[in-house]
Amino acid sequence: MLNVASPLINGLKITLQHLFKKPVTLQYPTERPVVGPRFRGLHALNRFHDRSKCVACYLCPTVCPAKCITVEAAEDPITHEKYASRYDIDILRCIFCGYCVEACPVDAVKMTENFELANYKREDFAYTQEMLTDKK
Amino acid sequence: MEYEILGLPVWYYIAMVAKVLVVFVWVLLTVAYATYAERKIIGHMQVRLGPMRTGWHGLLQPIADGLKLFFKEEIIPAEASTFAFLVAPLIALVPAFISFAVIPFGSTITVGGYKIPLQIAAFADKSGGVVDVNVGVLYILALSSLGVYGIVLAGWSSNSKYSLLGGLRASAQMISYELAAGLSLITVFMVSGSLSLQTIVADQAAFGWYAWRNPFLFAAFIIFFICSLAEINRTPFDLPEAETELVSGFCTEYSSMKYAMFFMAEYANMITVCAITVTLFLGGWHGPFTDAMPLLSPFYFIAKVYTLIFTCMWIRATYPRYRYDQLMGLGWKFFLPITLVLIVGNAFWINVIGAGNWLGGLFA
């Protein structure tokens, strides 16, 4: 005879066992998640003396699949070094793939563990060089 | 007994009002906290936490929900049939609550020399005998059938296709499962020989619970409980409000307190059904030491009802929803014939072996 009851009882058994397991829920704002070691959060520019390390080689805007990075190059009048006069990331377009970090030849751009990027205005998502560069 | 009003002692009126208040408040509180318990239990069964923020471990969540629904905007669709739309939640809610009038939630206690049977529609006459509604089960069956009118009216008066389908499903489902539930109750009457719930509980207290009397009664107990779940539209039989197909079924167009009324009716129905099952099959308020200490009996009753309510939630956390044709097939082709067989088998058992406890008082 086809056994009707035992799968039903097995199902009940499984849910009862789960009742006594430790819940996996993270109480988010009070409990913080532990992010992975190579987590890709908001970008940051490494600093070298008084400005960011970026040499405006245009590799990151070239490799960026979302085309969210805008770089403009300039020349330092004293040292004649090439540097980025503008380094903007439109974070609303960014897909956090990390290609810019991989492409960078001078280790200027990196990604932080900050994933809380919510904001009230659309303009607030356009990150500029000043906002991205590590503070001293 | 110096003062009498309309031939009844003053104690009668005091006891009546007290019983009504206690039972009504208990049902309302249980309804409120059943929603909380359901979210917590199902949450933990799915390895989640359930409500945690409102109060300690979310204990104030039902109150917050009630307040929120109370202050929500009341929307009546322009195309709705206004009167039926307004009355439907009441028709759903009231029968769910007044079924409790005949359910004995305790044995007879004595206060100041006056015997008070712990059942709303009962009193002790001058000779000390307990008088209650002698067709209590019939009354419950009648009221549980009335509840579906609220759902059907809600579905029809909303003038929306999802609501209408929900209402239609509810009525079809109620009719199909009421048959099997009613037939499984007949096995109980065959043993008890009475429709009075006082008599039924007293018989169980004296000779053992009906669920363990014989295998046919045990099967009737299981089938009655499953059919009751179907009658009150709980998972896995909650087709009238299937979100995946019918948005929210009959209460799609309802908002604010009117939605809350349907919600309360659903939970009050669950409590009523569990209380009926306890009274008819699991000995009602009967438990160890209830003869010596009648005050213990309400606690046994509440514990049994809460156990069954937990089972309802457990079932909800476990099984997916039935498909509509499978639901109808289960009711008409499986439960209905089986209950007919149970009635015949029970009749044979009573005549051949007797109506007593077949396990020899093991679970008395």
- For domain A35-132, give the fold: Alpha-Beta Plaits (3.30.70)
The SS3 assignment for B102 reads: helix
Per the prediction, chain A carries an average pLDDT of 88
C-alpha angle B294/B297/B302, rounded to 5°?
160
Of B47, B314, B315, the CB nearest to A23: B47
Across the range B113-138, mean pLDDT stands at 78
The SS3 assignment for A99 reads: helix
The DSSP string of B252-299 is TT--HHHHHHHHHHHHHHHHHHHHHHHHHHS-TT--TTTTT-GGGHHH
End-to-end CA distance of chain A: 78
pLDDT at A101: 93
**Residue given tokens 């020899």 in the structure block:** B360
Residue B323 lies in a domain: yes
Task: Determine whether B194 is exposed, middle or buried from the number of CB atoms within 10 Å of its CB (0-12, 13-18, 19+).
Answer: middle
CA neighbor of B176 nearest in space, from B333, B346, B5? B333
Residues 6 or more apart whose CB falls under 8 angstroms from that of B316 comprise B38, B42, B234, B235, B236
Residue B137's pLDDT band, with cuts at 50, 70 and 90, is confident
Helix H or strand E segment including A13: helix A5-19
pLDDT at B78: 84
B114: β partners? B111
Of B41, B48, B317, the CB nearest to A23: B48
pLDDT at A92: 92
Chain A / chain B CB contacts < 8 angstroms = 35
Nearest-CA distance A37 → chain B (Å): 26
What is the C-alpha separation between B190 and B283, in angstroms, rounded?
A: 16
Residue B18 lies in a domain: no
pLDDT at A120: 93
Cβ contacts of B44 on chain A, cutoff 8 Å: 18-19, 21, 23
Q: Is it the case that residue B339 has pLDDT exceeding 60?
A: yes
pLDDT at B359: 58
Nearest-CA distance A113 → chain B (Å): 26
CB contact under 8 A, A24 and B48: yes
CB contact under 8 A, A23 and B52: no
C-alpha of B95 from chain center: 10
For residue A105, report the phi and psi dihedrals to the nearest 5 degrees.
-80, -15
Residue B307's pLDDT band, with cuts at 50, 70 and 90, is very high
pLDDT at B363: 45
End-to-end CA distance of chain B: 38
Across the range B18-43, mean pLDDT stands at 90
Q: What percent of the residues of chain A are helix, what percent strand, and what percent coil, each to the nearest 5?
A: 25, 20, 55
Neighbours of B343 (CB within 10 A): 17
Residue B137 lies in a domain: yes
B52 CB near a chain A CB, below 8 Å? Answer: yes
B317 CB near a chain A CB, below 8 Å? Answer: yes
Nearest-CA distance B233 → chain A (Å): 19
Residue B49 lies in a domain: no
**Residue given tokens 């280790």 in the structure block:** A107
Residue B361's pLDDT band, with cuts at 50, 70 and 90, is very low
Cβ contacts of A21 on chain B, cutoff 8 Å: 44, 47
What percent of chain B clears pLDDT 70, i.e. is strictly above it?
A: 95
Question: Which two three-digit tokens encode residue A91?
Answer: 């974070």
What is the C-alpha separation between B138 and B150, in angstroms, rounded?
A: 20
* Closest residue in chain B to residue A5, using alpha carbons only: B222
pLDDT at B96: 85
State the amino acid at position A133 in one-letter form. Answer: T
Residue B357 lies in a domain: no
pLDDT at B12: 79
Nearest-CA distance B207 → chain A (Å): 30
Neighbours of B242 (CB within 10 A): 20
pLDDT in tens, B229-255: 888 888 788 877 766 677 777 778 888
What is the C-alpha separation between A52 and A46, in angstroms, rounded?
A: 6
The ipTM estimated for the assembled molecules is 0.72
Neighbours of B258 (CB within 10 A): 24
Peptide bond preceding A23 in cis form (omega within 30 of 0): no
pLDDT tens, chain A, 136 aa long: 567 788 888 888 999 998 888 888 888 888 888 888 889 999 999 988 888 888 999 999 999 999 999 999 999 888 898 989 999 999 999 999 999 999 999 989 999 888 888 889 998 899 998 888 876 6
Nearest-CA distance A41 → chain B (Å): 27
Residue B253's domain spans which residues? 69-110+122-352
CA neighbor of B345 nearest in space, from B155, B190, B226? B190
pLDDT at A52: 86
Cβ contacts of A6 on chain B, cutoff 8 Å: none
Tell me which of B47 and B112 has the higher pLDDT. Answer: B47
C-alpha angle B259/B165/B234, rounded to 5°?
55
Q: Can you give the pTM of this predicted structure?
A: 0.82
**Residue given tokens 């049902």 in the structure block:** B27
Q: Is the dihedral of CA A51, A53, A56, A62 positive or negative?
A: negative
Cβ contacts of B318 on chain A, cutoff 8 Å: 11-12, 14-15
C-alpha to C-alpha distances, A86 to A73, A131, B23, B208, nearest whole angstrom: 7, 12, 74, 87
Report CA dihedral (B198, B204, B207, B208) to the nearest 10 degrees: -170
C-alpha of B175 from chain center: 17
Nearest-CA distance A126 → chain B (Å): 34
Per the prediction, chain B carries an average pLDDT of 84
H-only helix segments in chain B: 10-45, 61-70, 82-98, 136-157, 161-192, 197-207, 215-231, 243-246, 256-281, 297-318, 324-329, 336-352
Of B41, B47, B319, the CB nearest to A21: B47
Contact B252, B312 (CB under 8 A): no
The tally of domains found in chain B comes to 1
Of B44, B314, B317, the CB nearest to A23: B44
The domain segmentation of chain A, as residue ranges, is 35-132
CB contact under 8 A, B318 and A11: yes
State the amino acid at position B64 in one-letter form. Answer: A
Give chain A's contact residues with B (Cβ, < 8 Å): 8, 11-12, 14-16, 18-19, 21-25, 27
pLDDT in tens, A54-73: 899 999 999 999 999 999 99
